[in-house]
Amino acid sequence: MADIDEHLIRQIVREVLAQTQVDHPIDFQKDATQGQSTTAVSESASANGAAVPENQLDWFQPVGPAQAGYSRDEIVIAVAPAYATVLTKTESSVTHQEALRQMIAGIEEEGLKARVIKVYDTSDVSFMAVEADHLSGSGISIGIQSKGTVIIHQKDQEALNNLELFPEAPVIDGAMFRRIGKNAARYAKGDSPEPVSQPNDQMARPNFQAISAILHIRETHQVVTGKPAEEIKVTF
């Protein structure tokens, strides 16, 4: 894959914003010189009505507002606002359906069960997981962004104080999603599992940073401030 420079990233992001009809200017020079994050830019965009209609899927059905669970053998998986219904694959080309299927299978292999919720009021994976662990009977949750970044979190911990974080979405394949599910279940059972090993691909970040920026912007366009999470029925 060819190297992707900062100029190309900016060009691609401008094109994406144009396609999603964002009608306010973004000062990319300010972004580069003053350290304004892509997250801040895209969150500003979402406040200007850039969300697109969600697709209706047979396998991914909202069934009402997410409720707190009380079963100590459950893990709540929180998916991001664009997950499945707007975007469909992670950066590693794993479909969102397959990623969920693998994580749920990993949880079930440990004798626990999974619930899936869709979070709308943030695109930050840490805060998604915090919202989920407050609804999880075990207090353990998994958060996953559409691009494939994943976190395992425990209730009553600060948002950035996670059990395991998987920031390099381009290297997370189906087998790794399954191991993430298994580890989340082991934490819920009170075990102290070895962290899931993460491949070390030094080229993943430079090669995928433009794609990652685009996916995060599109994700954050779907954020609806104050909208409660929805319970999702998944069928494989």
Q: Supply the pLDDT for residue 198.
A: 87
Task: Give CA torsion, residues 165, 17, 62, 118, to 10 deg.
Answer: 20
- State the pLDDT confidence band at 160, using cuts at 50, 70 and 90: confident
3-class DSSP assignment, residue 20 = coil
Residue 96 contacts residue 84 (beta carbons within 8 Å): yes
Segment 72-107, tens digit of pLDDT = 999 999 999 999 999 999 999 999 999 999 999 999
Q: CA-to-CA distance for 50 and 223, rounded, in angstroms?
A: 9
- Judge residue 54's burial from the number of C-beta atoms within 10 Å of its C-beta, 0-12 exposed, 13-18 middle, 19 or more buried: middle
Give the mean pLDDT of 150-171: 94
* 232: β partners: 62, 116
H helix or E strand, kind and range, residue 140: strand 140-144
* 166: β partners: 150
Q: Supply the pLDDT for residue 203.
A: 62
- State the pLDDT confidence band at 66, using cuts at 50, 70 and 90: very high
Q: Which tokens go with 191?
A: 């075990």
- State the pLDDT confidence band at 210, using cuts at 50, 70 and 90: confident
pLDDT of 47 over the 60 cut: no
Q: What is the pTM of this model?
A: 0.81
Q: Supply the pLDDT for residue 51.
A: 86
Tokens 């998604």 locate to 128
